[in-house]
Amino acid sequence: MLEALISGLGLIFQWHVLAYFALGCVIGILMGAIPGMGGAIGLVLLLPFTFSMEPVAAFALLLASWASTSTSGAITSVLLGIPATAASQATVLDGYPMAKRGESARALGAAFTSSAIGGVCGAIALGVSLPLILPVILAFESPETFMLGVLGLTMVGSLSGRSIVKGIAAAMFGLLLAMVGFPESQAIPRYTFNTLYLLDQLPLIPVLLGLFAIPEIMELAIKNVSIARTGETRDTRHGLMIGVRDALKHWGLVLRCSVIGAYVGMLPGLGASIVGWVTYGHAMQGAKDQSEFGQGDIRGVLAPEAANNALRGGAMIPTVTMGIPGSVGTAVLMGALIMLGLRPGPSMLDSELPMTFSFVWMIAFASVISTVILLGTVKQVAKVALLPGHMLVPGVLLFVYMGAWLGGSSMGDWVSCTFFGVVGFFMKRGGWPRPPIILALVLGSILEGSFQISTRVHQGVGWLNRPIVILLIIIIVVTLFFAARGIAKQKMLGKTARGEATERNPAISLLFSVTLFILFIWAGVTSLMWPPPVRQFPLIISIPGTVLSFMVVVQDLTLLLAAKKNTGMWRKTFREAFEDAWLAQALPFFGYLISILLLTMIVGQKLAMPLFICAYLLRWGHYQKRFAFSYALAGWAILVFFYGQVMGLLFHPSYLAIWLQSVLPAGTPDWLII
């Protein structure tokens, strides 16, 4: 074993391998920092370049890129409040409030350092567990997978905001969204409204970017403030070192979360979705003082970032040893293994053991090297937090919409992103947690499949007696108990909650809760016309969703009546709610977003986005024409050369494109505008 470990290290230390490794780290850092990209897209882009390469060099490029993206993903989570992936949501809860306080460098320093530790620990877990892990993975069958998913939803629902009922209701809403499209049991479409776009389920990235990115961008546009609300950062180099020391000070938490991340990451299809929330909950419940979580507690950054990097090593274990990829990224890596002549399975632990251990070294080194690179750039990156809001908005929106476009290259992706941007805005202003929706959307099909297999195999609910299932049920109950106790304790002490889902606007919340109540009833009634296997899980979601949303309706009505009692008249109550929700400023911004969609259908993205950038800067931002035109030109260049030529994306076939292709002479570079 030791000989194979040393041989694996020797495979890396070749000049050409090191060169590809460094290139992969740089590409991964860039991919991770762009909203909507992520590790899987980076792997897909790099895979064609590895066809003629030797296996060690090819995996040096691929694994370095894959491991580095999770490290640099903290940049958007901390600076913009936009999760780079679904696994990065937990980092937003405390990282973004720190950036608002002017502590972005500290948050990034802590995130990068804990990511490096987590990546090394994940690699160590991969190396140590390779010969032993098969029984552990096989112990998690459908019942355990289902209960672990429920634990993840419970964790995120109970830790988001001041109301557990709202958190669980939001999770039910996310599960309902996951029911859109064809179920696995029968070819009967559910909740598609007769549209082809929804037959293949709602895409994750447009929903994720809409719920999280657009509401934060709107706040910058409406208030015209920098991310650092004070207009200055309280730390640069000094703050960076404070963040590094924070990671070392809380070394026990970082190591525990790294181990949790590595071993939860081994669970195919599930680990990456819940690991950030499991470790965030671990950090919160293990803290004596929980009052700062969600308001900028450094432990809320350290825990999920350590776990997110550690799961890379854990996710490789079932991929390499059993040929079971747990995500799109590991599926691409398994495809690369087969393409390069390596076969996932027992042979990777026998004749190819040195190659397998080289993967361990690659993941560990990539985490450390990408961290060193990012720590050296924090001073410059943190300056983004000082830029005026109007300067950031159009550029970030360009990357948000193009990130949404990456999934399916469909106008439906932009419509989904915009629609859920509006939903996310009302949820944020009404005090509803958004993270449960994304996690539920990711886990929905997994939970449905695991539940149906469990009930069929065990002919009922006998699977609830399995030891691991009982343990997970106990953990769920304990999680809810401690979460409820923490919320009650804060209310007794009179502490004002801040952060995600802590806004108080009963009028806006009532509008959303009533909508959810009607939606759950409609979804349940509609499902009755389907066969039992198809309607089973939608009914399981709709019934508790209806009850929970009704409870929130009653709570909101009570708060609204109390607000009316204070103001003395309904008109004044609703006017104050309207002003508190910024609706007067939000409606014109929604108009700008709709104009992007309409312009794209007429003239295409390569002209619509620059036109939006120019119009926004001139009319809303009141910038000079020269600056607005230069900014728009830069946006056009990014669309044409990066997304068009480098990534090879197909753009929307607009009316202008169809007309120009019929009139332009052959050889004209029409790709510059269509």
Domain count of the fold of the chain: 2
Does residue 235 have a pLDDT over 60? no
pLDDT at site 602: 93
If you write DSSP's letter for every residue of 391-445 in order, what string do you get?
HHHHHHHHHHHHHHHHHH--HHHHHHHHHHHHHHHHHHHHT--SHHHHHHHHHHH
Is pLDDT above 80 for 419?
yes
* Amino acid sitting at position 616: Y
- What residue type is assigned to position 344 of the chain? P
pLDDT at 494: 57
Higher-scoring residue by pLDDT: 396, 289: 396
Reported confidence tier of residue 365, pLDDT bands at 50, 70, 90: confident
pLDDT confidence tier of residue 268, bands split at 50, 70 and 90: low
471 and 333, same domain (yes or no): yes
What are 655's two structure tokens?
């009316």
pLDDT at 274: 77
Torsion on CA atoms 60, 377, 375, 160, rounded to nearest 10: -100
CB 275 within 8 A of CB 156: no
Same domain, 601 and 485: no
Quick check: is 39 in a domain?
yes
Predicted confidence at residue 180, as pLDDT, reads 92
Within a domain: 553: no
Q: Is residue 46 part of a domain?
A: yes
Residue 498 shares a structural domain with residue 589: no
Q: Are 607 and 673 in contact (CB under 8 A)?
A: yes
Same domain for 487 and 591, yes or no, is no
Provide the pLDDT confidence category of residue 544 given band limits of 50, 70 and 90: very high
More confident call, 659 vs 627: 627
Q: How confident is the model at residue 269 (pLDDT cuts 50, 70, 90)?
A: low
Can you say whether residue 432 is alpha, beta or left, with left for phi > 0 and alpha for psi between -120 and 50 degrees?
Answer: beta
497 with 607, same domain? no
Q: Distances from the Cα of 488 to the Cαs of 171, 491, 492, in angstroms?
A: 21, 5, 6
> Is pLDDT at 160 greater than 70 in this prediction?
no
Does 616 share its domain with 491?
Answer: no
CA distances in angstroms from 449 to 145, 155, 205, 458, 534, listed in the order given: 10, 21, 22, 14, 11
Report whether 344 contacts 286 (CB < 8 A). Answer: no
In tens, the pLDDT along 382-418 reads 777 778 888 889 998 998 898 888 867 889 999 999 9
Q: Is a pLDDT exceeding 90 seen at residue 598?
A: yes
Q: Which of 101, 105, 109 is nearest to 227 (CA)?
A: 101
- Any domain includes 509: no
**Paired tokens of 30:** 């860039």
Answer yes or no: is pLDDT of 491 > 80.
Answer: no
> Could you give the angle at the alpha carbon of 308 between the alpha carbons of 176 and 49, nearest 5°?
95
Q: Is residue 545 part of a domain?
A: no
pLDDT value, residue 174:
92
599 shares its domain with 463:
no
What's the 3-state SS for 238-294?
HHHHHHHHHHHHCHHHHHHHHHHHHHHCCCCCCHHHHHHHHHHHHHHHCCCCCCCCC
Q: Averaged over 275-283, what is the pLDDT?
A: 83
**Cβ-proximal residues to 424 (8 Å cutoff; 6+ apart), any chain:** 210, 211, 212, 214, 215, 434
Q: Which two tokens stand for residue 451?
A: 């539940």
Closest CA to 20 of 69, 62, 67: 62
Residues 33 and 133 in one domain: yes
More confident residue, 482 or 95: 95
CA distance 450 to 146: 5
Better-scored residue on pLDDT, 290 or 434: 434
**Could you say which of 459, 484, 503 is where a domain stops?**
503
Question: Is the pLDDT at 497 greater than 90, yes or no?
Answer: no
* pLDDT score at 231: 53
Check if the beta carbon of residue 438 is closer than 8 Å to that of residue 444: no
pLDDT at 266: 74
Answer yes or no: is pLDDT of 154 > 60: yes
The residue written with tokens 């929970």 in the block is 548
CA distance 231 to 216: 17
Last residue of a domain, one of 471, 503, 535: 503
Flag whether 546 is in a domain: no
Q: What is this structure's pTM? A: 0.83
- Are 435 and 156 a contacting pair, CB within 8 Å? yes
Q: What is the pLDDT of residue 390?
A: 86
The pLDDT assigned to 550 comes to: 95
Question: Does 594 have pLDDT greater than 70?
Answer: yes
Residue 344 sits in which domain range?
Answer: 2-503
Of the three residues 503, 529, 546, the one that is the final residue of a domain is 503
pLDDT, one tens digit per residue, over 57-109 is 888 888 888 888 888 888 888 888 888 766 677 888 888 888 888 888 888 88
Domain membership of residue 28 (yes or no) is yes
Question: Is the per-residue pLDDT at 230 higher than 70?
Answer: no
Given pLDDT bands bounded at 50, 70 and 90, which one contains residue 481? confident
pLDDT at 133: 63
pLDDT band at 460, cuts 50/70/90?
confident
* Mean confidence (pLDDT) of the chain: 83
Assess whether pLDDT exceeds 60 at residue 220.
yes
Task: Give domain status of residue 59, yes or no.
Answer: yes
pLDDT for residue 227 is more than 90? no
CA separation for the pair 421, 442 (Å, rounded): 18
Percent of the chain at pLDDT above 70? 88
Are residues 110 and 243 in contact, defined by beta-carbon separation less than 8 angstroms? yes
Same domain, residue pair 28 and 126: yes
Amino acid at 97: P
pLDDT at residue 597 greater than cutoff 90: yes
Q: Which pLDDT tens digit goes with each residue over 8-61?
A: 777 778 888 888 888 888 888 888 877 766 666 777 778 777 777 888 888 888
Give the contacts of 489 (CB within 8 A, at least 6 positions apart).
none
